[in-house]
Amino acid sequence: MWPNIWRDDMDQITIETGMQDISSGTCVQFVPHSHEANFLDVEPRNSCWSFLGQPGGSQTISSQGPGCMWSGVAVHEFMHTLGFVHERSRSDRDRYVTIVWDNIMQEHIHNFRKHATSNLNSPYDYDSVMHYGSLIQALPSLKLPKPDPYISSGQRDGPSDLDLHKINVLHNCGR
């Protein structure tokens, strides 16, 4: 899959770098869209978001705003399309983080709900590009991590080694 990109050259390079960060460590390949029924459509809509998984047909990834144009943010959104939830939404997350529900802005509550995930027999990844820090979408929303609150968490530099491993496992890459 290859996104339909309606952006300037620097934005396109940023998005393509995110795709390359995934492709270089997994069997997932992004190919230019021609006639495929299922494809990604990266558009400058409101904020940074994507739907979970590939439902079929055109799938929009929004990357509007200065905070969206980082290759690690592109990786984050592409991982959503590949079927990954936020690390803080894993079924086993309560063993690793504490959610402070009273501090979460109402419009972001849905981003903190647990999903019924298999976790791919992988350990919790504080360094995942799918993890947020403690001050995202709330003040503070997470007490991180258990048992050592001084371990850093969340980043938008690119996929962690464990992120790439999980993509390979989920998509039967055999790497």
Annotated catalytic residues are 77
Q: Where are the beta strands (DSSP E) in the chain?
A: 4-5, 39-43, 48-50, 58-63, 98-99, 142-143
Cite the beta strand spans of 73-174 per DSSP E.
98-99, 142-143
In degrees, to the nearest 5, what angle opens at C-alpha 84 toward C-alphas 105 and 124? 85
Residue type, 60: T
Beta-bridge partner residues of 5: 42
Burial class (CB in 10 A: 0-12, 13-18, 19+), 151: exposed
